[in-house]
Amino acid sequence: MKICMAQVNTFVGDLAGNCERVIAVCKEASAKQPDGVVVFPELTLTGYPPEDLLLRPGLPAQVDRLLQRLCDELPPTLWVIIGYPRQSERGLHNSAGVIHGGQIVTEYHKQALPNYQVFDEVRYFVPGQEPCVLEIQGHRVGITICEDIWTPEPTARAAAAGAQLLINLNASPFHRGKRAQREQLVAQRARDHGLPVVYVNQVGGQDELVFDGASFATHSDGTVAVAAPEFEEALCWLDCGRDAAGQPMIVSGQIAEPYTDVAAVWQALVLGVRDYVNKNGFPGVVLGLSGGIDSAVTLAVAVDALGPERVHAVMMPFRYTATMSIEDAQQEAELLGVAYRSISIEPLYQSFMGALAVEFEGLPPNITEENLQARCRGVLLMSISNKKNLLVLTTGNKSELAVGYSTLYGDMAGGFDALKDCPKMLVYALARYRNSVSPCIPERVITRPPSAELAPDQKDEDSLPPYDVLDAIIEHYVEEDLSAADIVALGFSEPDVQRVVRLVDLNEYKRRQAPVGVRITQRAFGRDRRYPITWAWRG
């Protein structure tokens, strides 16, 4: 038996387009192996996650029509396993069907519905209750879906029903370390029941989520036999034979080399930006290029995602902008070959200050004047966006977003933030990684002390702890849910901890108004972490 792991990039809500993609892949697979088994990811017809599209009353009928089309048009000798939502008398299910010979020969309903982190499937689906095992070319194949393999019961039920090989359909999003987590978990399930496992994952960006693919198959002892590439579409074939005892076994094949940690993050950012821009129909992007590290890394991500011809960079200097910032921004644009323009915000700032002179009379300068500079830049970028239909990429990182070190309607104005879930120290690592591929970020951009350049001689560390300390406190508080006391007990300064925790708590209102951005940690702001804006409890 030959199995094709169809690692495809679906488009949420484009049921007809996703159906066309399935037909095209199956025709290609049939030309190679007419009686092969082609396995697609979870909810391939709708894309994942479809969220409240699942509540539309016309969805079940549309799914039924497209499933009939697949039955009519797929090569009849293929075995095609595909995910879709399916209505029954019990409610809506997250389902997988096996299509062969022009009909759906069996269906399976997902038993374990995730309801944590970015997942809320309990909102939409009712769980299945029965295992699904069918015979394909003499092999007894069990089918499960994604979360089913993260809990022991569905695999145990499939094994008890006679499964000799397990096929698991997935829409498993990326975060740092996720590939190793999956492989360890699947290895445990394989060893628990002596079953080879085929794990097929989708690839592509969907709003803040990125799916990294990295489909794989394991032997019954849990060792990886075959692995598809990460962050790209692939049709990865594997052979399933029999061992000396007559039990199914995966024949070892090609194992794609995994990316290193920082390289994997880079690929996730690039894929996330590319799919967000392309799937939303933007011809290109525009961003403010300040000469600092965050905008430099964002520019490089955008170019790798879209090509230099679709990226526009704008330097918006003011009286506090250092000469080296102007020089570095221009050099970055030249190295990456993007369209570049410099527009001073001095006249805009003076116009705003003139208009506000009566309102500000008798009041001393404060952070208002700093924020006004950022808002002048936001107005320019959004105006360019409106005129040229370009998506504004904001350039803030997770460290800034956590503590509110950003300006609403200023540097937060835009449509997508590639670095939204990247702590500052990771941004430095990303810069060094990208320079190892080809030089594009001047060394002094990486080594100079970071500054918003909104006041004379301003440095980020005038207002914040050093970034290595700040990032560690944020990770403990936001991603690990440790209390302030717990963090202090780890050896951090109590004043630093109390200050950072207070800033994180106070700035939820800003984060609610921030653009979406690529999720690369286990707990990002947004879908993962949802705190109230107005609340009294602090502790």
Q: Could you give the maximum distance between any two Cα atoms of the chain, in Å? A: 90
Cis preceding-peptide flag for 76 (omega within 30 of 0): no
Among candidates 413, 421, 418, which has minimal Cα distance to 392?
413
| Catalytic site residue from 19, 132, 146, 422 | 146
Angle in degrees, 0-180, between the axes of helices 261-279 and 293-306, rounded to the nearest 10: 60
Q: How far apart are CA 105 and CA 112, in angstroms?
A: 23
Question: Which residue of the set 4, 26, 42, 236 is catalytic?
Answer: 42
Locate tokens 């939820």: which residue? Answer: 508
The C-alpha atoms of residue 345 and residue 353 are separated, in whole angstroms, by 12
Give 394's strand partners: 417
For the chain, first and last CA: distance in Å?
Answer: 58
Tokens of residue 367, six digits: 């952070």
Q: Quote the tokens at residue 241.
A: 């034979």
Q: Which of 270, 279, 267 is nearest to 207 (CA)?
A: 279
Catalytically annotated residue among 26, 110, 121, 422? 110
> Is 42 labeled as catalytic in the residue annotation?
yes
The residue whose two tokens read 């075995």 is: 79
Assign 196 to helix, strand or coil.
Answer: coil
Q: Hunting for tokens 């769980």 — which residue is that?
A: 127
Residue whose pair of structure tokens reads 């693919």 in the numeric block: 213
Which residues are bridge partners to 238 per DSSP?
A: 3
Helix ranges (H only) for 463-535 are 467-474, 484-489, 494-506, 508-512
Beta bridge partners of 242: 248
Which tokens hold the place of 176? 């740092």
Contacts with 101 (C-beta within 8 Å, 6 or more apart), sequence order:
76, 77
**Which residues carry out catalysis?**
42, 110, 146
